[in-house]
Amino acid sequence: MKSLLTKSLLTTVACCVLLPVSAATPAPDDLLAGIRADIDALRLSSPAGNNALEKIDAFRGQSPFDFRVVPLTYQWGEAYVALADKALAAREYDKAQQYLDKVWLVASLTPGLEAAQDKLDQVYQGAPAVAARMEEEKAPDQAELKRQRQLAEAAEQEKARAEAEYRRKQEEAKRQAAAEKQQAEQERLRRQEEERRRRAEAEKAQQAAAAKRLADAEKTAAKPAVKVAAVKPVTTKVVAVSPAANTGPDPDVAARWEEASEDSAPLATYPVSSELLSNRDRDIVESLQPVCQAILDNDASVVVHTQDKADYRWLTVRLTLCLRRLDKTFRLRHSYAEITDDAPFVSLHPSRQVSLIRKVGD
């Protein structure tokens, strides 16, 4: 009879273990699923190209530090131990030893392996040559066991290093995100403070201008009336003046203004907030920024569409102030169009070099 762990069997098993891995090796998760299916179907080391042992070797080659394959390796060994027990019961001792030899080489710590080997050893009791060869094979088995333990320790160290590196990167990412958030908040506060100062300065300037106008009005009202009385009456000139001169604008000019209208197709239209316009809210200038930029980009003239001329005049002033922020040399060319129920808006038209009333006159 053959010995328990013959060198020929180990050589045969080694050939089985070190099968080449196909270039088209599946992903690790697919390999794990395939190993389970092969063990359930008892495709432990055959047929070639579709067995659990080849997939175990392929998984170890791809992911040497992934320990999910270890429990499956021991399940594979337990399946072979069960086959060895059946072969031993059927007195197929050589086949039983072949099964155990594969387990000793791949997963020597498989539960039940040593017990099965002890049963098989009892069959060969009384054969000194067999016992001697077993003693010779003990050293390689111990060396393989030591190697596997060293690999496990190295894998644990690599796993700990990888986890520490991952935690370090996570903490660094959190610190960076916190710093960026703090910087963004500081920038927001800075812009908010600048806007507050700008509005305070603008309000202060408006108050100063209003105070100056009030002072000028009071100074004019305080002038002595005797200066007016000292002026000689010019009755002859008054009589010579035509009454039509004091009745308002020239009818011809008024007619021209009525006829003057922008007849070019609009380049674009921009809505205007009815609430900001009706409340005379100066913050409307901020919402007019896109309109002003488009006017400058196209050197366009504009038509202001409002429900009355008071809104038109106020909105035109806001457009002028908005444009001055972008380009103080630009001259706004504007006209008025009355609307009824629609929301106010501004339409952009091709550039014109003369006023609309002059175009009508020509």
Same domain, 145 and 271: no
Of 315, 302, 291, 305, the C-alpha closest to 348 is 302
Q: How far apart are CA 327 and CA 295, in angstroms?
A: 11
Structure tokens at 132: 């001697």
Residue with tokens 């021991």: 74
Same domain, 290 and 152: no
pLDDT tens per residue, the chain (362 residues)?
Answer: 334 443 333 333 333 344 444 446 688 999 999 999 999 999 999 999 999 999 999 999 999 999 999 999 999 999 999 999 999 999 999 999 999 999 999 999 999 999 999 999 998 775 544 445 555 555 556 788 888 889 889 888 989 999 999 999 999 999 999 999 999 999 999 999 999 999 999 989 999 988 888 888 777 766 544 333 333 333 333 333 334 444 455 566 556 656 667 778 899 999 999 899 999 998 898 899 999 999 999 999 999 999 899 999 999 999 999 999 899 899 999 999 999 878 899 999 998 766 665 555 55
End residue of a domain, out of 167, 194, 214: 167
pLDDT recorded at residue 137: 53
Q: Domain of 344?
A: 264-361
Same domain, 153 and 33: yes
φ, ψ for residue 260 (rounded to 5)?
-70, 120
CA distances from 307 to 278, 287, 340, 349 (A): 11, 20, 6, 20
In whole angstroms, how large is the CA radius of gyration of the chain?
50
Q: How far apart are CA 270 and CA 250, in angstroms?
A: 35
Residue 2 belongs to a domain: no
Residue 191 belongs to a domain: no
Partner residues linked to 303 by β-bridges: 335, 347
Residue 243 belongs to a domain: no
Same domain, 30 and 136: yes
pLDDT recorded at residue 132: 52
End residue of a domain, out of 108, 134, 167: 167
Structural contact between residues 290 and 322, judged by C-beta atoms closer than 8 angstroms: no
Residue 229 belongs to a domain: no
Q: Kindly report the CATH number assigned to the domain that includes residue 357.
A: 3.30.1330
pLDDT recorded at residue 131: 46
pLDDT recorded at residue 31: 92
The domain total for the chain is 2
Same domain, 163 and 304: no
pLDDT recorded at residue 242: 39
pLDDT recorded at residue 211: 87
Same domain, 15 and 143: yes
Same domain, 39 and 152: yes
pLDDT recorded at residue 234: 34
Work out the angle at residue 243's Cα, subtended by the Cα atoms of residues 238 and 245, and round it to the nearest 5 degrees. Answer: 90
Residue 1 belongs to a domain: no
Structure tokens at 10: 């180990």
End residue of a domain, out of 131, 146, 167: 167
Residue 151 belongs to a domain: yes
Work out the angle at residue 134's Cα, subtended by the Cα atoms of residues 133 and 137, and round it to the nearest 5 degrees. Answer: 90
Same domain, 163 and 268: no
Same domain, 276 and 139: no
pLDDT recorded at residue 172: 94
Of 16, 99, 34, 24, the C-alpha closest to 72 is 34
pLDDT recorded at residue 24: 63
Global pTM reads: 0.32
Residue 332 belongs to a domain: yes
Largest CA-CA distance found in the chain, in angstroms, rounded:
160
Q: How far apart are CA 192 and CA 188, in angstroms?
A: 6
Residue 257 belongs to a domain: no
pLDDT recorded at residue 35: 94
